[in-house]
Chains A and B, each alone.
Chain A
Amino acid sequence: GAVVSQHPSWVICKSGTSVKIECRSLDFQATTMFWYRQFPKQSLMLMATSNEGSKATYEQGVEKDKFLINHASLTLSTLTVTSAHPEDSSFYICSARGQGSGSYNSPLHFGNGTRLTVT
């Protein structure tokens, strides 16, 4: 159980275009999902917390107008990278806590990530 599916697994786009990444919880409902970014040989950096039915909470230094997050249902959160630039090229990973888990101390279930390359 507690499977998180992320799509697409990789995408190449031209500079200036927008890219949407989907994150779905397949067998549970996730009121909260987390979006991370990971550069090569670096750790996961939390970008934002996606809350179903309300606005996302962004970490310091993350532009909310550039990284649009929509959590329209209990099983789907999307991250849209708007007006992408080469420096946005990275590995984007979403995660969620399993259903019934408290917000504290429970493990995260991760999607398999999306490799974004902006040319």
Chain B
Amino acid sequence: SQKIEQNSEALNIQEGKTATLTCNYTNYSPAYLQWYRQDPGRGPVFLLLIRENEKEKRKERLKVTFDTTLKQSLFHITASQPADSATYLCALERLTGGGNKLTFGTGTQLKVEL
């Protein structure tokens, strides 16, 4: 079956350090991978999208890599701040007969401490 795995354990890091979150998938051949941020009691907010032919994508302090051989994406936040504390979700798009659908991983909770 298709699976998207993110580290279920919370990640605690010190302010100013780089946070690295992992997203692994099996039995997918996604052309696109997306990362979202979700705060408690709120809907997810889109952060970055990376295509299969792109190895790396950056946006301000965020960087995403996509390795289709390893079936893995890494999400980096540099110079992390307490305001970056949230749950981060990766999502893969799959093409089905009923239209394209986005499937989410379980998310990794990040806590940036002072």
Select the stretch in B59-67, B73-81, B101-109 that faces chain A: B101-109
- Whole-angstrom distance between the Cβ of B11 and the nearest chain A Cβ: 15
Give the residues from 88 to 115 in chain A that come closer than 8 angstroms, CB to CB, to chain B.
91, 93, 95, 103-113, 115
User: A49 contacts which of B45, B51, B98 (Cβ < 8 Å)?
Assistant: B98
Structural contact, A43 and B106, CB atoms closer than 8 A? yes
Structural contact, B43 and A111, CB atoms closer than 8 A? yes
Give the residues from 2 to 56 in chain B that come closer than 8 angstroms, CB to CB, to chain A.
31-32, 34, 41-46, 49, 51
When distances are taken between beta carbons in the complex, the residues of chain A under 8 Å from B89 are 43-44
- Beta-carbon nearest neighbor of B98 in chain A: A57
Contact residues of B: prevailing secondary structure: strand
**CA distance in complex: A91, B32 (Å):** 26
Structural contact, B105 and A43, CB atoms closer than 8 A? yes
**CA distance in complex: A54, B41 (Å):** 31
CB of A75 within 8 Å of the partner chain? no
**CA distance in complex: A44, B38 (Å):** 11
Structural contact, B93 and A46, CB atoms closer than 8 A? no
- Whole-angstrom distance between the Cβ of B114 and the nearest chain A Cβ: 25
Pull 7 A–B residue pairs with CB atoms less than 8 Å apart, ordered by A. Answer: A42-B106, A49-B101, A93-B44, A103-B100, A104-B31, A107-B49, A115-B41
Q: What residues of chain B have their CB less than 8 Å away from a CB belonging to chain A?
A: 31-32, 34, 41-46, 49, 51, 89, 93, 95, 98-107
